Amino acid sequence: MRFDILTLFPEMFSSPFQESILAKAIEKGLIEVRTINIRDFALDKHQVVDDAPYGGGQGMVMKVEPIARAIEQVKMENPSAWTVYLTPEGKPLNQEIIKELSSRSHLILLCGRYEGVDERVRQLFVDEEISIGDYVLTGGELAAMVLIDTVSRLVPGVLGSDKSAEEDSFFGSLLEYPQYTRPASFRNHEVPEVLLSGNHQAISLWRREESLRRTWLRRPELLNKASLSEEDKKILEEIIQNKS
Ligand code: ADE
């Protein structure tokens, strides 16, 4: 899977992909991350990439020509690359969208700065607009990193086993159950007995119950779209009745 990041600040991307899982994925050739400096595509000798908004108002707007030329260069290599503009006005990112994006082989990620991009960039060159949450970042760069991280971990081979991604919170629309590791006792806080029992069936049941409990307590709205078995529904009823 390939990511081309269009940004005015390529240096921001130097360290996030040099550590841990993503660094290994790049080394193995499972993902490829390239940064493209939009400024290199400016038309004038001062390499101007922004200008005052028509109609007046605060701030600067990113000009259409440098962005158009940068996207067109990538598209010349691969016409089917999918262009995503990171903006708080985009669709809120969730695991479903991440899964869809992970099925594409080449994403162009456009990072805005200032007061955003000239509207014609969006009309002519952008396939999809994505927001990572209802707050405003100083630019799209951090959002692009979030997107690359979340999409990459769904690329086959990037995580240790494909199973780890399937067990994630949100895959089945439930939050994850609590996890413990050694020691079994820490400052009088014990690991739940059942996890030490070796009884795999009992452990599975306990985990399902804890997932349901946690989801109900923290994110009850997720239960509406979760796929629940008849047994899940019974467990949930008990949890709700006991209110814990
Ligand atoms: N750029 C600025 N804020 C953003 C957000 N919340 N999501 C995506 N891109 C952004």
Report pLDDT digits (tens) over 107-118. 999 999 989 999
Confidence of residue 100 (pLDDT cuts 50, 70, 90): very high
Place of tokens 């409990």: 213
* Structure-block tokens of residue 60: 């600067």
Three-state secondary-structure class, residue 136: coil
Confidence of residue 173 (pLDDT cuts 50, 70, 90): confident
CA of 146 to the centre of ligand 1 (A): 11
- Alpha helices, DSSP H only, in 78-118? 95-102
Residues with CB under 6 A from ligand 1: 86-88, 131-133, 135-137, 140, 143
* Structure-block tokens of residue 126: 């952008």
| Residue of the CA atom closest to atom 2 of ligand 1 | 137
Mean of the pLDDT values across residues 144-162? 93
Mutation probe of ligand 1 site: the residue of 89, 130, 134, 137 with most atoms within 8 A of C-beta: 137
Mark 82-120 as b/e (b = at least 16 C-beta within 10 Å): bbbbbbbebeebeeebbeebbeeebbbbbbbbbebbbee
Amino acid at 1: M
Question: What pLDDT shows up at residue 160?
Answer: 83
CA of 48 to the centre of ligand 1 (A): 23
Could you read off the pLDDT of 81-94 as tens digits, one per residue?
999 999 999 999 99
Taking every pair of C-alpha atoms in the chain, what is the biggest distance, in angstroms? Answer: 71
| Residue of the CA atom closest to atom 4 of ligand 1 | 88
Place of tokens 């969208």: 97
pTM here?
0.93
CATH dotted code for 167-242: 1.10.1270.20
Mutation probe of ligand 1 site: the residue of 115, 135, 136, 148 with most atoms within 8 A of C-beta: 136
Confidence of residue 168 (pLDDT cuts 50, 70, 90): confident
Structural domain boundaries in the chain: 2-160, 167-242
User: How many other β-carbons are positioned within 10 Å of the β-carbon of residue 202?
Assistant: 13
Residues 6+ apart with CB under 8 A from 132: 86, 92, 93, 142, 143, 146, 147
Q: 85 pairs with which residues across the strands?
A: 110, 129
* Structure-block tokens of residue 88: 């708080």
Q: What atom of ligand 1 comes closest to residue 86's alpha carbon?
A: 9
- Active-site annotation holder among 16, 153, 210, 213: 153
Question: What pLDDT shows up at residue 163?
Answer: 61
**CATH number 3.40.50.720 given to 2-160:** no
Phi, psi of 236 (to 5 degrees): -60, -40
- Active-site annotation holder among 39, 69, 104, 115: 115
- Active-site annotation holder among 88, 118, 141, 213: 88
End-to-end CA distance of the chain: 44
Mean pLDDT across the chain, nearest whole number?
95
Question: What pLDDT shows up at residue 243?
Answer: 74
Q: What atom of ligand 1 comes closest to residue 112's alpha carbon?
A: 1
Could you read off the pLDDT of 201-210 as tens digits, one per residue?
999 999 999 9
Rounded percentage of the chain residues whose pLDDT exceeds 70:
96
Place of tokens 């951090």: 142
How is the chain split among helix, strand and coil, in percent rounded to 5? 45, 15, 40
More confident of the two residues 166 and 135 = 135
